[in-house]
């Protein structure tokens, strides 16, 4: 019986030897070239990633996470507020004590619609920068005086009105509704991303629930959604984009002790990683962790306000998601300081005539804070702080290119700003990324 089985197997192999060897070659090839075959498959057949975002956007107001995929600026942020020239630039020559920048463009780069990149395409409108192009391949940027944040300023991606760009992703399709983007389909060699935009968080959640999108970012997770099967929820403290603070009108409340009393009487998060101390991100090389924290201190608040003549203060905010935070601040100020607080939500806040505003402040790629705290910036310095030492430091920060010297300047700026207390820095936003598995 054993001999019969062996002979039968031998005859079977003899008749089908070609197919045995062929299958062995194919299986070995699949194992050896598995990664390359997977890459090729993804290029041919890759699923569309569907992401939902809250907000109303146009081609000129896209979130950076999208515009950076579509195109480049003259420079790139490599992380930690460090910048290098982008793929658009072949070479850079810095002249005249860092007031003249000669960019030679990469002649191999083309727009997605196959037009060559030319120096005249750079239509940046940035105050203080004079931009000219002597020929299609060279761009000259001139400043009146040294301007240290220039590389950060020039990182803005260049995108034409029809979403023609220069980056890894190309806009394949876009739809508008009532003047704002409804959807935007991006394609690269290896990936496709469909962004859908929604007016508010409720619409965003509804779209996720019905399967219109597969990934969203929200500030809190509804209890019913947290129990859903086959979804992944990731918590992230966003320290790189904005911070929540109470901005104080220093023209109305010019007594530093009163502003400090408000700060000490304000409840704050106990989560250290979530707590904001200054307008500069903790991931920045210029961040100063050794500033006044103004941890909640009822005794100190009462000491500072004992000679106060103010009995009423108006607290304004324009985001419904801040209602609970505003109520907590109102309750604490009334109980600790004995002043009446009118907490008001309004879609339009007059930043030229207010008491205090609970709102988000922006975090820039560069630690430069000139726009927000210099006394001459009447449109963007909403606290109206006018403090010569702060002005001097902000001016020096823009003129200084040595990073260690700039670090000293901005760390001193943060120390003085917190001492003057034109704003009460509270926390960074928590963002939950919810993805369908």
Interval 309-324: pLDDT, tens: 899 999 999 999 999 9
| pTM of the predicted protein model | 0.84
**Distance, CA of 246 to CA of 244 (rounded, Å):** 7
pLDDT of residue 43: 57
- Residue 287: alpha-carbon gap to chain centroid: 17
**Distance, CA of 437 to CA of 434 (rounded, Å):** 10
Q: Are the C-beta atoms of residues 151 and 103 closer than 8 Å to each other?
A: no
pLDDT of residue 75: 95
Q: What are phi and psi of 86, to 5 degrees?
A: -85, 175
pLDDT of residue 135: 95
What is the β-pairing status of strands 356-362 and 312-317? parallel
Q: Distances from the Cα of 285 to the Cαs of 86, 110, 245, 409, in angstroms? A: 22, 35, 22, 12
Choice among 119-128, 208-217, 426-435 with the minimum mean pLDDT = 119-128
Give me the torsion for CA of 291, 294, 295, 296, rounded to 10°.
180
Range with the largest mean pLDDT of 35-39, 46-50, 377-381:
377-381
Q: What is the largest CA-CA distance in the chain?
A: 111
pLDDT of residue 257: 95
Of 279, 306, 280, residue with least CA distance to 382: 279
Q: What is the DSSP string of 197-232?
A: EESSHHHHHHHHHTTS-SEEEESS--HHHHT-SSEE
pLDDT of residue 170: 95
How is residue 266 annotated by DSSP? S
pLDDT for 148-205, tens place per residue?
999 999 999 999 888 999 999 999 999 999 999 999 999 998 899 999 999 999 999 9
**Distance, CA of 27 to CA of 31 (rounded, Å):** 6
Q: Residue 147 in 3-state DSSP?
A: coil
């Amino acid at each position: 019986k054993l001999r019969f089985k062996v002979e039968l197997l031998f005859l079977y192999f003899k008749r089908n030897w070609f197919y045995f060897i062929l299958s062995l070659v194919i299986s070995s090839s699949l194992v050896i070239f598995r990664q390359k075959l997977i890459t090729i498959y993804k290029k041919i057949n890759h699923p569309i990633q569907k992401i939902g975002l809250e907000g109303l956007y146009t081609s000129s107001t896209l979130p950076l996470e999208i515009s950076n995929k579509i195109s480049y600026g003259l420079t790139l942020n490599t992380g930690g507020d460090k910048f290098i020239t982008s793929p658009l630039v072949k070479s850079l020559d810095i002249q005249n004590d860092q007031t003249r920048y000669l960019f030679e463009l990469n002649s191999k780069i083309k727009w997605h619609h196959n037009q060559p990149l030319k120096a005249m395409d750079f239509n940046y409108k940035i105050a203080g920068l004079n931009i000219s192009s002597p020929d299609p391949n060279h761009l000259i940027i001139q400043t009146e005086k040294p301007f240290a944040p220039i590389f950060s300023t020039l990182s803005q991606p260049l995108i034409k009105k029809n979403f023609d760009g220069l980056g890894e992703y190309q806009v394949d399709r876009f739809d508008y509704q009532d003047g704002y983007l409804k959807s935007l389909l991006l394609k690269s060699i290896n990936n496709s991303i469909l962004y859908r935009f929604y007016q508010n968080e409720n619409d965003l959640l509804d779209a996720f629930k019905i399967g219109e999108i597969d990934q969203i970012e929200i500030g809190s997770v509804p209890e019913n959604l947290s129990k859903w099967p086959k979804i992944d929820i990731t918590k992230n403290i966003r320290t790189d984009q904005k911070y929540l603070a109470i901005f104080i009108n220093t023209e109305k409340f010019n007594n530093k002790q009163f502003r400090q009393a408000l700060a000490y009487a304000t409840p704050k998060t106990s989560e250290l990683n979530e707590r904001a101390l200054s307008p500069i991100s903790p991931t920045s090389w210029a961040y100063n962790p050794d500033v006044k924290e103004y941890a909640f201190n009822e005794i100190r608040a009462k000491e500072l306000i004992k000679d106060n003549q103010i009995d009423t203060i108006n607290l304004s905010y324009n985001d419904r998601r801040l209602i609970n935070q505003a109520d907590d601040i109102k309750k604490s100020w009334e109980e600790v300081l004995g002043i009446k607080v009118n907490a008001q939500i309004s879609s339009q806040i007059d930043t030229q005539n207010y008491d205090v505003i609970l709102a988000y402040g922006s975090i820039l790629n560069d630690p430069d804070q000139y726009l927000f705290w210099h006394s001459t910036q009447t449109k963007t310095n909403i606290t109206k702080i006018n403090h010569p030492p702060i002005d001097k430091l902000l001016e020096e920060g823009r003129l200084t290119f040595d990073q260690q010297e700039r670090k000293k300047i901005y760390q001193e700026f943060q120390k003085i700003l917190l001492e003057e207390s034109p704003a009460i820095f509270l926390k960074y936003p928590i963002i939950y990324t919810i993805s369908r598995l």
